[in-house]
A and B are shown apart, each in its own frame.
Chain A
Amino acid sequence: MNEGFPLLSALIFLPLAGALVTMFLPSDSAARAWALVVTTACALLSIPLYTGFNNGTAQYQFGEHHPWISAWNINYTLGVDGISLLLILLTTIIMPFCVLASWRYIAKRVKAFMVCLLVMECAMIGVFAALDFVLFYVLWEAMLIPMYLIIGIWGGPRKVYASIKFFIYTLAGSVMLLVAIIALYLSSTPHTFSIPMLMGGAYSQTMQILVFLAFFLAFAIKVPMFPFHTWLPAAHVEAPTAGSVILASILLKMGTYGFLRFCLPITPVATLTLMPYILWLSVVAILYGGFTALAQKDMKKLIAYSSVGHMGFVTLGIFVLNRAGIEGAILQMINHGVTTGALFLCVGMIYERTHSRELAQATGIGKQMPIFVTFLAFFSLSSLAFPGTNSFVGEFMILAGGFSRNLIIAGAAIPGAILAAAYMLRMLQKVIWGGVDNPVQSLMDLNAREIVTLAPFLLFVFWIGLGPEPFLSVMHTSVTHLLEQVASAAKSTAVAGLLP
């Protein structure tokens, strides 16, 4: 640990330092430009994370370790493995586009908005890189304040309701997480908050189940899994574009990341015991998300409910507990970040022009905005997992994993894929070829800034869709290790028979 350049710390503190500087900038345009510079610098800085990553080991890499609060043995420990690496990259790459998407959309209090974005970036990278429970929890909760402000100040008409609901839901979910963390600390010898050291501990089954449930509540709310999803449509609809993108692309992934990083290796027995219930909950989320998305008139709501369905696939993949499922789930986390992020950007662009997100108000804009609808069409196809796009690979792997685990559960999830096609094509059909009753007659097509914002997302859609190997190769070893951890911890218990 601690050798070489502290890349992860640099990634965490660069946005924070950038946020401090932003406060003293003279004008709004300077704040925009500066935020773009900082987020781009972060994205560039994160490239060595991928190029320098060693695929051959499941050890945590780029490790950093400094004592923080010695009285409680709390340390500032960072590190990445194949599971968190892609999520950090996703974060750093999405953020510059969030700044770009807010260029005109955010007209008032620009400086404060950029400060919030940068603080968010700091906390989000930190959450994925933290290997100490207290550090993780501090960042996990600290994130709530800037996100609350992003929705609450710059949001839509029902922003107050949405932001408070978001905050309270998430916080209420994570208070028990804190208790579980302390309980784990007290049951380890010597007492430690180190996440790697707490993995594979010999905890009693009751303890595991209680800890798992506490974890589950926090993460399921964040994902969000049915029936904890009600905050999501409200938050998505009211948040400004950048807020929606951050929520969909990154924040939701923290829940599933939590399952992978904590639930599986720390409480394997509980995971195996409760697995069937969670699989069924995932199936419910897939179907429920699909059906509700089909009925939405507001485009943001439609995408929000589609997120519930897509994240249902991710949790399904995680809890089938085999290689195809988990790797598919991690890939699908990235895919969902790319695709749904891009879809929210698209809706934001419509909103900037028509000041409405109603599907009925956006009908037939294909004639006026050909470039825009081309992008929208590709992202919609990606969202319904069309072969050749990124989501196809992910969903395919998850379903493959699902079928080898349980025929009935995987079969029950299949209609979800059909529903996705139904709601996405319905939206696409209306937007491109819909009726001519669109009241706004002359809409400008995308400008260069907006094309630059969307183009990289398209690149990733096809890159992952056609050649996913560079993404899958980094996670192989870590996923194998994770499965070994679950298997070895559960071997001697009654639930071992559930393992593949």
Chain B
Amino acid sequence: MKLMLFAPELILLLGSLLLFILTLTADGKTARKMALLIGLAASIVSLAALNQTGTLFVKAYQVDLFSQLFKALIAIGMTVVLLFSGELKDITPRMKPEYYLFLVLSSLGLMMLVSSVELITLFVALELSSFSLYLMVPMRDDHQGLRSQMEAGIKYIMFAVMATGIMLFGMSYLFGLTGTTYLAGLATRLPSLITEPAAIAGIAMVLSGFLFKLAVFPFHFWVPDVYQGASNETTSFIASVPKLGAVAILIRITMLAAPEGAMIVKMLVICAVCSMFYGNLAALVQKDIKRMLGFSGIAHAGFVLLGLLTLHKEGYATSIFYIIGYVLMNMACFLVLCQVSKSGENVEISDLSGLYQRSPLLAFTLATGMMALAGIPPFVGFMGKFMLLAGALQAKQLTLVVLAALNTAIAIYYYLSVLKVAYCDQPVSTDSIEVSFGTKALSLGLILAIITLGVIPGQMLALANQAVAAIL
């Protein structure tokens, strides 16, 4: 059953070919249906393929529980974004089919990324995913002729190319030191070289490519402008699904530094602390909610590092758990954002005034998402935060843990002000917001998932642990 090993990717691949044909003939609606169908099929097949194991393509491509878990999450995440982004209010109409094509291609890239265990394959997969995203950003309608979407697209690609360049440079170091591009080969040869400056520099530079994707300080500069410039739907995707892929690869790469990578750990600690403080402090003063979520995302990226830098399998598992939770709560917020924005314009925090009176369900979804991001129990954000802190303290990072805990106290203010606006302020307009049945079901599902994972995290944590065990 070699086919089953590659089935989720094959579906997206065939799907993108079909979408390509549709771009020549069909309109947005047909393409959307097709994309949804592809997403749904990919989700089901990737769940069915969860327990596949094996290698493909001269061992450059490894299929195990770790990769399959991430693939399922990517497929589901893509489908959810497709579902709540609706008819793509803010994408130039004649580009809608292309938009779906690139969305599917980007997800395909991410899926391949999480299975890649060879540096060049990794690079190709990453670029497939990234280039699709670079193209999706400027596809937004040009509202005021400001071309802010173009600016965002250019900033995105410029920063990304820099990060990719650094990553390739790092890969050349690793290859030069060990003579192999396979992660497995690196893992056996690097431990004896890990105190060499060249090895440290190599790993650090490779890491930076993915820290860029996860938007960790100092690789975060693209975030606020891209989040703001891209359409709400595009941002929903960029802010959630690619982070899954980034965390997966960060785990694979940091594993190379274990168990003696004190220097790498030090770097990650500094990145984590700076990310948390920078993200949270900058988020405090944002008015545009996408920018705010962008900065909050930088802070959360710093938090995810808390698990990675333990260089321990339980730490990796909590990082996986946390990023899954993060994607869920982020999606809950973006779902509301996409519904509130009438014709796809950016939403200011003040536009959410009195949301509770306009749509109680959306307000509750937003409240759940925000409180989960703030790390208040009983939501998944708290459980993830708690386990990350516990893991980091176990790894003797007391200062880091105290600083991280302080950050949750800083962060609460801006999450709470959104809640305040939605629940306590008077509405700007009294007309209620129309929410389709599918979106209602989706928001209930997200709320349920956020609470369930927060109250009974056992199974998901066990799955994450097994996934990590599969690649050790």
Chain A interface residues (CB < 8 Å from chain B): 68-72, 134, 137-139, 141-142, 144-145, 148-149, 152-153, 159-160, 163-164, 167-168, 171-172, 175-176, 178-179, 182-183, 185-186
Contact = CB atoms under 8 A, between A and B. Distances in A.
A179 B420 contact: no
Contact of A163 (B314, B377, B389, B420): B420
Contact of B413 (A145, A168, A176): A168
A271 B423 CA distance: 42
A72 B378 CA distance: 17
Contact of B405 (A141, A144, A163, A176): A176
11 contacts: A68-B456, A68-B458, A71-B462, A145-B371, A148-B416, A167-B416, A175-B405, A179-B389, A179-B402, A182-B386, A186-B393
Contacts of B406: 175
A172 B405 CA distance: 9
A138 B412 CA distance: 16
Given A69-B457, A71-B465, A164 B409 contact: no
Interface string B374-405: 00111000100011011001100000011001
Given A144-B376, A152-B423, A153-B423, A178 B409 contact: no
A254 to B, nearest CB: 15
B439 interface: no
B408 interface: yes
Given A138-B382, A175-B405, A72 B390 contact: yes
The 8 closest A-B pairs by CB, nearest first: A138-B377, A172-B409, A175-B405, A182-B390, A152-B424, A142-B377, A175-B409, A182-B393
A145 B376 contact: yes
Contacts of A179: 389, 393, 401-402, 405
Interface SS of B by simple majority? helix
A180 to B, nearest CB: 10
Given A70-B458, A137-B377, A145-B376, A160 B382 contact: no
Interface residues of B, number: 34
A168 B409 contact: yes
A141 B424 contact: no
Contacts of A68: 456, 458
B409 to A, nearest CB: 4
Given A178-B389, A182-B390, A141 B412 contact: no
B132 interface: no
Contacts of A153: 423-424
A159 B424 CA distance: 9
A70 B371 CA distance: 25
B183 to A, nearest CB: 27
A238 to B, nearest CB: 11
B424 A163 contact: yes
A178 B405 contact: yes
B53 interface: no
B59 to A, nearest CB: 32
A207 to B, nearest CB: 11
B461 interface: yes
Contacts of A152: 420, 423-424
A242 to B, nearest CB: 17
Interface in B411-443: 412-413, 416-417, 419-420, 423-425
Contacts, number: 84
Contacts of B378: 138, 142
B394 A186 contact: yes
Contacts of A139: 377
A251 to B, nearest CB: 16
A160 B424 contact: yes
Given A142-B376, A164-B420, A167-B416, A182 B401 contact: yes
Nearest to B421: A160
Contacts of A171: 376, 408-409, 412
Contacts of B412: 167-168, 171-172
Interface in B308-335: 314
A85 B405 CA distance: 32
A176 B377 CA distance: 15
Contacts of A183: 393
A164 B423 contact: no
Interface string B442-469: 0000000000000011100110010000
A163 B419 CA distance: 11
A302 B134 CA distance: 61
Contacts of B416: 148, 164, 167-168
Contacts of B458: 68-71
A145 B314 CA distance: 31
A354 B176 CA distance: 83
A9 to B, nearest CB: 14
A134 B413 CA distance: 24
Nearest to B390: A182
A172 B457 CA distance: 25
Nearest to B411: A171
Contact of A141 (B377, B390, B393): B377
Contacts of A70: 458
Contacts of A178: 386, 389, 405
A164 B462 contact: no
Contact of B387 (A72, A142, A172, A175): A72
A71 B318 CA distance: 11
A112 to B, nearest CB: 8
Contacts of A172: 409, 412
Contacts of A182: 386, 389-390, 393, 401
B435 to A, nearest CB: 17
Nearest to B405: A175
A141 B401 contact: no
A179 B393 CA distance: 8
A451 to B, nearest CB: 34
A175 B409 CA distance: 7
A313 to B, nearest CB: 30
A239 B30 CA distance: 53
A411 B461 CA distance: 56
Nearest to A141: B377
Given A71-B465, A149-B423, A168-B413, 12 more contacts: A71-B314, A141-B376, A141-B377, A144-B376, A148-B419, A153-B424, A163-B420, A171-B408, A175-B406, A179-B389, A179-B393, A179-B401
A139 B408 CA distance: 17
A133 to B, nearest CB: 11
Nearest to A177: B405
Given A137-B377, A185-B390, A160 B409 contact: no
Contacts of B423: 149, 152-153
A345 B81 CA distance: 49
Contacts of A144: 376
A172 B390 CA distance: 18
Interface centre among A70, A152, A175 (most CB of B within 10 A): A175
A141 B457 contact: no
Interface string B159-179: 000000000000000000000
A168 B376 CA distance: 12
A280 B373 CA distance: 39
Nearest to B314: A71
